[in-house]
């Protein structure tokens, strides 16, 4: 496609280099003069968006690795300290964690686009297979990255996924041991996952180079699916494709920024804010949303080995697509039947994604099996048959003709774009939702309260944080630690608003263990601003012994580590209304959810208390708050309701101390990106004005 380079540098230095290493000519022929079909639509900008996302992930990842500690005792804490203490650490972490999701959203759109327009067909088979390899590498990278924060989902996800390999006959157990580097998932596992998580993105980058190379040999496919024949069918990559891609990327960044700044934990699981605990499995293990369809396939098959094979086959089958679909016509635009089945297939994938998030019981299992069959049937039955029986509509003679035809009627592409957008959004959101069926063991859904820190302009109420701190100090702190919060944080901007002197005075009320001193002894001294809130118990065993076997959790992250289901379709709306207040709602409800007597028929175990909102209803913590227990200096009512709300807000701040900075930065970023996207849009229009 790309003919001999017409790159002729005038600058003598460039000339000198070019004679010895023709890199300028390579860049020029690949990204400047490279002819690109003139009828490409915006679905084609996802290639550029994916390159951008790979760059974002690599850059933020390298930076996070500068602050991260891959050790089972320190990994969770080091991630928290990145978020709390490193300059812009919260931004970098949310960029990286949400960036993974954005990367997958973009890759799924890119893949569905290839599927719809037949981009895998002759002569682009190798290009497509390289893409499947990139996708597999992305899945491995994403999985290992999710393990690194060493939360509960990290640990149990690692356990479940590595155990998949145990299904392999004869050698399975040995392979699993090899992956773990031990008798279970542990420190060696974390270390090697960190190493590989750092390595694989560069492997991806290498395969991306091959992918782009193959693309530049065979040329880009296009919505009409006819090859460019004359000069009139193409436009040079720069400025046409560059400015269009730039506009696409800018719009995608707007979407990305919504997640980073306003709903950074929407796609994550609250359980991953609980440090990994090899002794307790979370009630409901769910992988990251982008694996859910395959997870659903795995669970649909009631045999370990067969399930694993089916899951991997679901991905591998993509590599054979060029031969399964042998129809001569590429674009589904001209294949009425293939087009319908394509959309059915999209719905099947979304359905599988939804089911992957549901508990594996009852109707969900049956639905999962039906959709699994449908998934494979699309590739193994529908496409091979269609390619033999379907008569395609007449193709345009050339791309130029396609462009002319399109300018005549712009309605159809608009409609299909709308459908695709809606489906794409639903795909992402549908799969993201971890709505599980409300069963009896779950608590009641907590009421949604109004919080000052909700919404795009939300801010903490300083008075409320101060009152909440008082409740924590006088009540909660006798059993619960707050070990990631330092006294100095009390004077941080966006917090309870104390002065550094007040924070120091507050700290000096505490006794902190320090040492060893010159004589080798540990000693106690008054707290300093740099110290963290001391925990009430020296270790978990002591805490359990003092609390009837229950372990009062540390409260630093509790507001992000607790959630509940909002159900479909509410969880979809939550992404738009920026709902991120499950934690405080739950804590508030729990504080007030105690009932004197368990309802008739409920067997309350000895030493437990009945709470409406606690999952399972039987809680070991006695009712912590009572009217009049804490006196507020500001005249706020001394009621349980007031205490509960204040302490919930305080714990939200403790879990997300940079919330205000995040939302403020978000507003600036949004204004900037809207301006940039607008300018790029008009620039794009100007550039393309003479191409249509």
Instruction: Give whichever of 285 and 676 is closer to another protein, judged by the CB atom.
Output: 676
- Half-sphere exposure at residue 574, Cβ-oriented, CA atoms within 13 angstroms: 25
Does 84 interact with another protein (rule: CB under 8 A)?
yes
Does 683 interact with another protein (rule: CB under 8 A)?
yes
Does 675 interact with another protein (rule: CB under 8 A)?
yes
Q: What x/- string results for residues 517 through 556 when contact with another protein is judged by CB under 8 A?
A: -x---------xxx--------------------------
Among the residue ranges 205-213, 474-482, 612-620, 669-677, the one whose residues contact another protein (CB under 8 A):
669-677
The crossing angle, in degrees rounded to 10, of helices 12-20 and 23-31 is 90
- Residue written as token pair 């003709």: 401
Does 65 interact with another protein (rule: CB under 8 A)?
no
- Residue written as token pair 């409300």: 438
Instruction: Give whichever of 90 and 614 is closer to another protein, judged by the CB atom.
Output: 90
Among the residue ranges 19-27, 190-198, 376-384, 668-676, the one whose residues contact another protein (CB under 8 A):
668-676
Other CB atoms within 10 A of residue 546 CB: 14
Instruction: Give whichever of 97 and 331 is closer to another protein, judged by the CB atom.
Output: 97
Does 92 interact with another protein (rule: CB under 8 A)?
yes
Instruction: Give whichever of 456 and 678 is closer to another protein, judged by the CB atom.
Output: 678
- Residue written as token pair 């409800």: 589
CA 117, CA 224: separation in Å to the nearest integer? 8
* CA distances to 221, 263, 462, 472, 583 from 645, in Å: 57, 22, 13, 12, 12
**Cis peptide bond upstream of 123, omega within 30:** yes
Instruction: Give whichever of 77 and 406 is closer to another protein, judged by the CB atom.
Output: 77
- With CB under 8 A as the contact rule, the residue among 42, 320, 672, 688 that binds another protein is 672
| Shortest Cβ 561–another protein spacing (Å) | 22
| Shortest Cβ 185–another protein spacing (Å) | 29
Does 264 interact with another protein (rule: CB under 8 A)?
no
DSSP letter (8 states) at residue 333: G
Does 680 interact with another protein (rule: CB under 8 A)?
yes
| Shortest Cβ 88–another protein spacing (Å) | 4
Pair 478, 648: CB distance under 8 Å: no
Of 517, 138, 68, 94, residue with least CA distance to 294: 138
* CA distances to 31, 140, 200, 204, 294 from 161, in Å: 40, 10, 18, 21, 12
CA 434, CA 565: separation in Å to the nearest integer? 7
Does 664 interact with another protein (rule: CB under 8 A)?
no
Contact set for another protein, span 453-512 (CB under 8 A): 486, 488, 492
Instruction: Give whichever of 91 and 137 is closer to another protein, judged by the CB atom.
Output: 91
Contact set for another protein, span 42-61 (CB under 8 A): 59
User: Cα angle at 24 between 18 and 28, to 5 degrees?
Assistant: 140
Instruction: Give whichever of 416 and 683 is closer to another protein, judged by the CB atom.
Output: 683
CA 612, CA 599: separation in Å to the nearest integer? 10
Q: Length of the chain in residues, anyone?
A: 692
| Shortest Cβ 81–another protein spacing (Å) | 6
CA 281, CA 156: separation in Å to the nearest integer? 7
Other CB atoms within 10 A of residue 523 CB: 11
DSSP string covering 248-268: HHHHHHHHHHIIIII-TTSSS
Q: What x/- string results for residues 165 through 204 when contact with another protein is judged by CB under 8 A?
A: ----------------------------------------
CA 18, CA 9: separation in Å to the nearest integer? 8
* CA distances to 41, 113, 442, 449, 616 from 446, in Å: 45, 41, 11, 9, 14
| Shortest Cβ 241–another protein spacing (Å) | 16
Q: How many residues interact with another protein (rule CB under 8 A)?
A: 29
Does 10 interact with another protein (rule: CB under 8 A)?
no
Instruction: Give whichever of 83 and 465 is closer to another protein, judged by the CB atom.
Output: 83
| Shortest Cβ 486–another protein spacing (Å) | 7
Pair 446, 586: CB distance under 8 Å: yes
Among the residue ranges 39-47, 88-96, 221-229, 254-262, the one whose residues contact another protein (CB under 8 A):
88-96
Does 205 interact with another protein (rule: CB under 8 A)?
no
Instruction: Give whichever of 67 and 192 is closer to another protein, judged by the CB atom.
Output: 67
- Half-sphere exposure at residue 72, Cβ-oriented, CA atoms within 13 angstroms: 13
CA 157, CA 486: separation in Å to the nearest integer? 31
**Strands 609-611 and 618-619, how do they pair?**
antiparallel
| Shortest Cβ 691–another protein spacing (Å) | 15
Does 679 interact with another protein (rule: CB under 8 A)?
yes
CA 667, CA 619: separation in Å to the nearest integer? 41
Q: What are the two backbone dihedrals, phi and then psi, of residue 53, each rounded to the nearest 5 degrees?
A: -65, -35
Q: What are the two backbone dihedrals, phi and then psi, of residue 264, each rounded to the nearest 5 degrees?
A: -65, -25
Instruction: Give whichever of 268 and 529 is closer to another protein, judged by the CB atom.
Output: 529
Does 102 interact with another protein (rule: CB under 8 A)?
no
Q: What x/- string results for residues 213 through 252 when contact with another protein is judged by CB under 8 A?
A: ---------------------------------x------
- With CB under 8 A as the contact rule, the residue among 67, 473, 620, 664 that binds another protein is 67
Q: Is 142 helix (H, G, I), strand (E, B) or coil?
A: helix
Instruction: Give whichever of 415 and 689 is closer to another protein, judged by the CB atom.
Output: 689
Does 66 interact with another protein (rule: CB under 8 A)?
yes
The crossing angle, in degrees rounded to 10, of helices 46-67 and 89-116 is 150
Does 674 interact with another protein (rule: CB under 8 A)?
no
CA 624, CA 113: separation in Å to the nearest integer? 56
Does 91 interact with another protein (rule: CB under 8 A)?
yes
**Alpha carbon 431 to its chain's center:** 11
Instruction: Give whichever of 558 and 680 is closer to another protein, judged by the CB atom.
Output: 680
Does 401 interact with another protein (rule: CB under 8 A)?
no
- With CB under 8 A as the contact rule, the residue among 86, 140, 604, 661 that binds another protein is 86
Binding site for another protein (CB under 8 A): 59, 63, 66-67, 81, 84-89, 91-92, 246, 486, 488, 492, 518, 528-530, 672, 675-676, 679-680, 682-683, 686
């Amino acid at each position: 496609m790309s003919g001999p380079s017409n790159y002729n540098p005038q600058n003598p230095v460039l000339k000198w280099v070019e004679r010895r290493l023709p890199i300028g000519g390579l860049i020029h022929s690949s990204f400047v003069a490279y002819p690109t079909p003139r009828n490409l639509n915006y679905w084609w900008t996802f290639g550029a968006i994916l390159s951008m996302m790979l760059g974002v992930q690599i850059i933020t990842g390298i930076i996070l690795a500068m602050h991260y500690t891959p050790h089972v005792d320190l990994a969770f804490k080091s991630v928290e300290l990145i978020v709390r203490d490193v300059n812009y650490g919260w931004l970098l972490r949310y960029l990286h964690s949400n960036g993974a999701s954005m990367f997958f959203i973009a890759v799924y759109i890119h893949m569905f686009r290839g599927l719809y327009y037949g981009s895998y067909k002759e002569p682009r088979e190798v290009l497509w297979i390289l893409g499947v390899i990139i996708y597999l590498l992305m899945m491995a990278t994403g999985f290992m990255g999710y393990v690194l924060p060493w939360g509960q989902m990290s640990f149990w996800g690692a356990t479940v996924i590595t155990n998949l390999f145990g299904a392999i006959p004869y050698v399975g157990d040995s392979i699993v041991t090899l992956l773990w580097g031990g008798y279970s998932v542990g420190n060696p596992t974390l270390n090697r996952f960190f190493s590989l998580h750092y390595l694989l993105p560069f492997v991806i980058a290498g395969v991306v180079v091959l992918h782009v190379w193959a693309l530049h040999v065979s040329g880009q496919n296009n919505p009409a699916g006819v090859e460019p024949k004359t000069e009139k069918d193409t436009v040079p990559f720069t400025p046409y494709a560059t400015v269009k891609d730039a506009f696409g990327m800018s719009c995608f960044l707007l979407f990305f920024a919504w997640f980073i700044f306003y709903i950074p934990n929407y796609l994550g699981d609250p359980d991953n804010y609980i440090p990994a605990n090899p002794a307790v499995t979370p009630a409901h293990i769910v992988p990251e949303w982008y694996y859910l369809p395959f997870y659903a396939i795995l669970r649909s098959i009631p045999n370990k080995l067969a399930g694993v094979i089916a899951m991997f086959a679901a991905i591998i089958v993509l590599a054979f697509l060029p031969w399964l679909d042998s129809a001569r016509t590429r674009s589904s635009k001209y294949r009425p039947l293939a087009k319908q089945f394509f959309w059915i297939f999209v719905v099947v994938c979304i359905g599988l994604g939804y089911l992957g998030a549901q508990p594996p019981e009852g109707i969900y299992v049956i639905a999962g099996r039906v959709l699994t069959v449908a998934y494979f049937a699309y590739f193994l039955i529908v496409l091979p048959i269609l390619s033999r029986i379907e008569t395609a509509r007449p193709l345009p003679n050339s791309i130029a003709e396609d462009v002319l035809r399109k300018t005549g009627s712009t309605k159809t592409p608009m409609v299909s774009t709308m459908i695709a957008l809606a489906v794409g959004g639903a795909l992402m959101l549908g799969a993201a939702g971890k709505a599980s069926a409300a069963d009896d063991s779950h608590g009641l859904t907590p009421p949604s309260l109004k919080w000052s820190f909700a919404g795009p302009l939300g801010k903490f109420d300083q008075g409320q944080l101060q009152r909440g701190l008082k409740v924590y100090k006088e009540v909660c702190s006798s059993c619960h630690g707050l070990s990631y919060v330092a006294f100095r944080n009390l004077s941080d901007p966006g917090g309870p608003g104390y002065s550094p002197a007040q924070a120091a005075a507050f700290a000096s009320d505490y006794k902190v263990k320090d040492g060893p001193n010159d004589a080798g002894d540990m000693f106690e001294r008054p707290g300093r601003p740099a110290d963290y809130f001391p925990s009430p118990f020296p270790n978990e065993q002591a805490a359990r012994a003092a609390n009837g076997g229950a372990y009062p959790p540390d409260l630093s992250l509790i507001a992000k580590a607790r959630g509940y289901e909002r159900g479909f379709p509410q969880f979809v709306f939550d992404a738009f209304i920026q709902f991120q207040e499950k934690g405080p709602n739950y804590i508030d409800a729990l504080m007030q959810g105690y009932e004197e007597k368990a309802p008739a028929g409920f067997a309350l175990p000895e030493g437990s208390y009945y709470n409406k909102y606690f999952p399972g209803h039987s809680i070991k913590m006695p009712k912590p708050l009572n009217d009049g227990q804490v006196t507020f200096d500001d005249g706020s009512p001394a009621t349980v309701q007031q205490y509960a709300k204040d302490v919930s807000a305080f714990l939200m701040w403790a879990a997300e101390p940079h919330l205000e900075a995040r939302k403020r930065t978000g507003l600036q970023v949004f204004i900037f990106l809207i301006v940039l996207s607008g300018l790029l849009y008009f620039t794009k229009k100007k550039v393309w004005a003479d191409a249509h």
